[in-house]
Structure 1
Amino acid sequence: MARHIFRPTRYHNTLGTAEPCLRIADGDTLVAETVDASGLDANEVAVAARPNPMTGPFFVEGAEPGDTLAVEIIRLTPNRRTGWTYSPLALTVLDPAAILDRPKQERAIWEINANEGTVRLRDAPAALAGFTPPLAPMIGCFGVAPAGGEAISTATSGAHGGNMDYRRFAPGTTAWFPVSVPGALFYLGDGHAAQGDGEITGTGIETSFEMEVRLSVLKRRITWPRAETAEEIITIGNARPLDQALQHATTEMQRWLGEDYGLDARAASHLMGMVVRYDVGNVFNPAYTVACRVAKKWLTKA
């Protein structure tokens, strides 16, 4: 199995059927640079593709419609010492009455200290003096080309993946995407140095990254994105309103428990009713994201 190092010269602001930038074999490791949508930065070229410029697409040999692409997230390394966010809170997460008192939007710069493993707000208000959250790199937007020749904006998400902004898409997690076109056509980007649940200011700490992932083809069919860590299995629903995203994630979890763990609908309901945990991913962009988690300690392989 090979290890590919890819330095992009062009980016995409849609996930769709485009000319592959690189063809790789099933099981290969990919190291790829990604950029944020900051425009002209002192250490990078101007980025024309907005929002969420994607690196790719990568053609994975052997991936066919009906398969699943497994993306093992090995390493996410920020390429800059700074990143940026916006404030205040997004319109989508505030009571309507509170919007009247919302301050104007401003961009803030954060210092990224890889040695200390922290981030710090530059020019922080006095109330946040000493506020140094942990550096916690994650992938905000990644996925595969959707079916039917569509090209879907990287501002949103769907069954193909996309802009999910889910904090557990981090090193140690393997994400699964349903393959709809030959080669899967995998894209990745939108790296965040840190972010709370929901991306509730409209950004994480946006910065450029070097991302290392391993891409593998699974000869199985899924409907919505899935993920796996050492401790949990996770299903992802992307839709709006929020309850529809939750329905997609919950239904996909019930399917998974039946396929791999031998639980019929009634048995799955008993287990899920007691141990399911839900997370909120993106609630800023057009489609919202909900994750449904079950700890592996409750499961026995069928």
Structure 2
Amino acid sequence: MATHRFRPTRYFSVIGAAEPCLRVADGDTVVTDTIDASGLDAREIAVGSRPNPMTGPFYIEGAEPGDTLAVHIDRLTPSRATGWTYSPLALTVLEPAAIKDRPSSERHVWEIDGEAGTVRLREPVRGLEDFSPPLQPMIGCFGVAPAGGQALSTATSAQNGGNMDYRLFAPGTTAWFPVSVPGALFYLGDGHACQGDGEIVGTGIETSFEMEVTFRVLKRTISWPRGETADDIFTIGNARPLDQALQHATTEMSRWLGEDYGLDARAASHLMGQVVRYDVGNVFNPAFTVACRIAKRWLTKL
């Protein structure tokens, strides 16, 4: 098991089959840089020019179609002291009658204080002069190449992962992705210094990061992304409308409870019906994201 330090010179705005930037072994760790859309002007963009530039793809030796790639998020460190967001709230989260009253779109700069562990508007708007939420780094967009030779925009998400903007994709979490091509071809980027559920203004606090992740190849098959934290397991559905994303996430959780915890469909329904929690990921971009989450304390005796 080795640690690789990779400095990218090009970035991708799609997730798909491309020449690997680095080949690593099962169990290896990669430390690499990611940039947000504000860093594109002076950088080479390998495919396209829209936001969410991805670093990658990383080829993981031994990963074959039908396997699962487990990606442990070891560390996410902002590499500059500012980030940015937009206001106001997105059209997708407002009642139609309220849209006409929205203020104009504006870009706002945030100060990132790594020592204090907080973020703050550089020019606070009225009423938010003392607003200083915690620094909570997360990965907005990451995943593996999809099946069928597709290349999916980093604006959206699907079974391969992508732009999910789910807050639990943070340090300490292990994310699982279904492998569809040899080597998995893993991409990552879109680091957020902080973000509420849903990415409801169209961005988190976008900034550049140094990211550290560790790969494991699991000889098992999953259909949708999964994840595990110290306290929870969760499954991800990506689709539009929102209820379809919820259906994918719920079905994947039921499968997981059967495969790893020995619960048949009826037992899984009893458990899920009482203790499941649903979290909203991205509700701004073309595909919405729903996470189906269960606390591990309910699974310890299974």
Aligned to 1:213: 213
Report sequence identity in percent. Answer: 78
Q: Mark the CA change 1:36 to 1:47 in structure 2 (over 3 Å): closer, same or farther.
A: farther
Pairing 1:161–2:165 present: no
Pairing 1:235–2:229 present: no
Give the CA deviation at 1:260. 0.2
Measure, in 2, the Cα distance between the counterparts of 1:240 and 1:40.
29
Equivalent pair of 1:154/1:162 in contact (CA under 8 Å): yes
Pairing 1:113–2:98 present: no
Measure, in 2, the Cα distance between the counterparts of 1:258 and 1:22.
36
Measure, in 1, the Cα distance between the counterparts of 2:301 and 2:56.
35
> What residue identity is the alignment partner of 1:213?
V
Aligned to 1:70: 70
Report the count of equivalent residues: 299
What SS does the aligned partner of 1:126 have?
coil
> What residue identity is the alignment partner of 2:214?
R
Measure, in 2, the Cα distance between the counterparts of 1:40 and 1:189.
13
Equivalent pair of 2:225/2:237 in contact (CA under 8 Å): yes
User: Over residues 71-103 of structure 1, what are the superposed CA-to-partner deviations in whole Å (9 max), with x where a residue is unaligned?
Assistant: 000000000000000000000000000000011
Measure, in 2, the Cα distance between the counterparts of 1:301 and 1:264.
16
User: Over residues 146-196 of structure 1, what are the superposed CA-to-partner deviations in whole Å (9 max), with x where a residue is unaligned?
Assistant: 000000000000000000000000001000000000000000000000000
Aligned to 2:150: 150
Measure, in 2, the Cα distance between the counterparts of 1:38 and 1:91.
23
Equivalent pair of 1:47/1:53 in contact (CA under 8 Å): no
What SS does the aligned partner of 1:249 have?
helix
What SS does the aligned partner of 2:201 have?
coil
Matched ranges for 1:291-302 at <5 A: 291-300=291-300
Measure, in 2, the Cα distance between the counterparts of 1:126 and 1:293.
37
Measure, in 1, the Cα distance between the counterparts of 2:301 and 2:31.
33
Give the CA deviation at 1:126. 2.5
Give the CA deviation at 1:231. 1.1
User: Over residues 101-140 of structure 1, what are the superposed CA-to-partner deviations in whole Å (9 max), with x where a residue is unaligned?
Assistant: 0111000000000000000001111310110000000000
Pairing 1:13–2:13 present: yes
What SS does the aligned partner of 1:165 have?
coil
Aligned to 2:200: 200
What SS does the aligned partner of 1:250 have?
helix
Measure, in 2, the Cα distance between the counterparts of 1:287 and 1:18.
23
Give the CA deviation at 1:39. 4.4
Give the CA deviation at 1:46. 4.0
Pairing 1:182–2:182 present: yes
Give the CA deviation at 1:40. 5.6
Measure, in 1, the Cα distance between the counterparts of 2:105 and 2:126.
19
Q: Mark the CA change 1:100 to 1:47 in structure 2 (over 3 Å): closer, same or farther.
A: farther
Give the CA deviation at 1:47. 6.0
Give the CA deviation at 1:266. 0.1
Aligned to 2:170: 170
Q: Structure 2: any 5+ residue segments left out of the alignment?
A: none
What SS does the aligned partner of 1:38 have?
helix
